[in-house]
């Protein structure tokens, strides 16, 4: 019997929403620095009671928690997909967890697994994909990958010895602000994907008439 992913989905949505709040907050910090204080020698007390070290730490811990719960939800959906259309699943449920930790491979393998889960979860698993059916899934994944790359570039730029110059610090901060903006969009699309896939599986498990797919 398939297991209901609704509880996990709700937790993922709440965590993603919290991530959006931090992405917007820290993105505003970067924009403020670019406009008001374009210098690498910034005052960490410039926002008064807002402790940026605490904010960055909370954002990181929230990101980790979101990743853990999301992967558990993803694994639950993959196991359900095995019941409905196991022959369409080219990778094991365990790999649906491990794929997220494969360097380079995690830029495309999870998306491939998500597509297989999507097809198994719809009312007619073996039907051809409808026009634009995977647009939401592809939009989320594109933002996720682009955001990961932008954040990597930001981290590499901040880590260079030349970041002490104003010009390079500004460049690094621009990359950081862009990363937060893309992450926020990716989180919004992730919420929509989580809700959509969960709804599809719930409808299929309970025999309810599914929403338009």
pLDDT in tens, 175-211: 999 999 999 999 999 999 999 999 999 999 887 654 4
Q: Residue 212's pLDDT is what?
A: 40
Q: Is the pLDDT of residue 108 over 80?
A: yes
pLDDT in tens, 25-71: 999 989 988 887 666 555 556 566 677 778 889 999 999 999 999 99
- In whole angstroms, give the CA distance from residue 177 to residue 45: 20
Q: Residue 104's pLDDT is what?
A: 94
129, 119 in Cβ contact below 8 A?
Answer: yes
Picking from 77, 72, 65, the residue whose alpha carbon sits closest to that of residue 16 is 65
158, 176 in Cβ contact below 8 A?
Answer: yes
pLDDT in tens, 149-160: 999 998 888 766
pLDDT band at 126 (very low <50, low <70, confident <90, very high): very high
Residue 84 CB neighbours (<10 A): 18
0.85 cut: is pTM over it?
yes
Q: Give me the residue label for tokens 């909370």.
A: 58
Burial of 206 (0-12, 13-18, 19+ CB in 10 A): exposed
- In whole angstroms, give the CA distance from residue 12 to residue 9: 5
Q: Is the pLDDT of residue 164 over 80?
A: no
């Amino acid at each position: 019997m398939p297991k209901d992913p609704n509880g996990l989905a709700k937790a993922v949505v709440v965590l993603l929403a919290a991530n959006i709040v931090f992405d917007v907050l820290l993105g505003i910090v970067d924009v403020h620095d670019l406009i008001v204080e374009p210098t690498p020698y910034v005052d960490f007390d410039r926002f008064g009671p807002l402790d940026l070290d605490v904010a960055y730490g909370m954002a990181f811990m929230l990101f980790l928690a979101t990743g853990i719960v999301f992967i558990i939800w993803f694994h639950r959906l993959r196991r359900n997909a095995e019941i409905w259309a196991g022959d369409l699943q080219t990778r094991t449920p365990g790999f649906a967890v491990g794929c997220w930790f494969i360097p380079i491979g995690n830029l495309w393998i999870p998306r491939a697994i998500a597509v297989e889960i999507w097809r198994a979860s719809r009312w007619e698993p073996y039907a051809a994909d409808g026009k634009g059916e995977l647009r939401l899934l592809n939009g989320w994944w594109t933002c996720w990958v682009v955001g990961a790359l932008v954040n990597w570039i930001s981290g590499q730029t901040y880590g260079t010895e030349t970041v002490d110059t104003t010009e390079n610090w500004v460049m690094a901060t621009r990359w950081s602000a862009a990363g937060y903006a893309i992450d926020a969009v990716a989180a919004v699309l992730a919420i929509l994907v989580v809700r959509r896939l969960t709804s599809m599986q719930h409808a299929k498990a309970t025999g309810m008439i599914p929403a338009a797919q």
